[in-house]
Amino acid sequence: MSRKKLILKIFIALCMVILIMFTSSYLFVNSIVGPTNHKDVYALEKNSIDVLFVGSSHCYCGFSPEVFYEQTGVKSYTLGGSSQSMLSCYLWTKEFYERQKYSTLVVEAFSIPMSHGDVGNDIHTLASMYPSKNYMEMALTYKRNCDKVIFPILCVHSEWDRIDLREIVNAYHKENLGYVDIHSRAGEEYTESVLKGDKDADDYLGFTYLDKIVDFCNQNNIRLILVKTLIASNESDRWDDAYHNKVSKYAKEKGIEFIDFNDPVYMEDAGLVIAEDVAADLRHLNADGAYKTTTYIGKHLYGE
């Protein structure tokens, strides 16, 4: 066999392997179900969405586009994913804008401490946009794991088993526009805010991808608001005075609005009650809490 024929056969074999890996990866990411599946984004009427909500499960359990439309007549979309990092939020912010020139971006603040660092979870939350250029930008962050980014089929392991129960109980319906409702309550023993008013509390937070979101919004004249939804406990999902103070300081420096519904002032203004409006898992809003929170944001943006 001549050297040229050998090289050609090797080249063809490599092309076949790449094609098989790409095809299996594409089929794999399209098999994902639950709130992380946002394939319907690509079926939405172009430039029909004015407000985008992004964040983790705190986002997709906290903001109801249906309620938002009822209250304001403005269309929105809730683009959340379980443990969605700020890297994922940033890439979705850009990807969504290519199809929907939204005017307002609401970032659920629980994602801010989760800058990036879990390649499996970020691939999971961005799977619906595979293999767009924004998705592939993730490979620049995860250079050592760029093979997994390019071929997500390599991530078929425990990383993909972390689907929370709500993804099974609440089958994803695109008419919900990304929102997932919960119908349990924290209970009457939960009455006090997780914020204790300690103005000196401090901790490290990295703002790399929030900075990128801020720059993107400034470049495209998008109104940016940071919102932390109400929680009942710090036992599983941390949000305390240190994080509140850090984000509040950042928002003031950047000239960004920051609404923390764990602040008793905002809690009272929105009519939120911890025992009644937080779900039994103590970290997500139930349907009542989401209604009150969404209504408040709608009035804040568009008035009565």
- Give a yes or no: residue 27 inside a domain: no
pLDDT digits (tens, 9 = 90+) for 36-63: 788 889 999 999 999 999 999 999 999 9
CATH number for the domain spanning 280: value is 3.40.50.1110
- Give a yes or no: residue 218 inside a domain: yes
Nearest to 29 by CA among 146, 120, 145, 165: 120
What is the mean pLDDT of the segment spanning 256-270? 97
- Give a yes or no: residue 237 inside a domain: yes
Per-residue pLDDT, 159: 46
- Give a yes or no: residue 133 inside a domain: yes
- Average pLDDT, rounded, for the chain: 88
Q: Could you tell me the strand order of the sheet in which 223-228 lies? A: 76-80, 51-55, 104-108, 223-228, 257-260
The percentage of residues in the chain with a pLDDT greater than 90, rounded to a whole number, is: 62
- Give a yes or no: residue 113 inside a domain: yes
pLDDT digits (tens, 9 = 90+) for 187-240: 999 999 999 999 999 888 889 999 999 999 999 999 999 999 999 998 878 899
What is the mean pLDDT of the segment spanning 82-92? 94
The SS3 call for residue 68 is helix
- Give a yes or no: residue 16 inside a domain: no
The DSSP output letter for 64 is -
The percentage of residues in the chain with a pLDDT greater than 70, rounded to a whole number, is: 90
> What's the domain count of the chain?
1
- Give a yes or no: residue 7 inside a domain: no
The runs of H, that is alpha helices, within 30-162 are 57-60, 65-72, 86-97, 119-126, 133-136, 138-141, 146-150
Q: How many CB atoms lie within 10 A of CB 100?
A: 20
Per-residue pLDDT, 164: 45
Per-residue pLDDT, 33: 58
Domain that holds residue 286: 32-302
- Give a yes or no: residue 10 inside a domain: no
Q: Is the pLDDT of residue 118 over 70?
A: yes
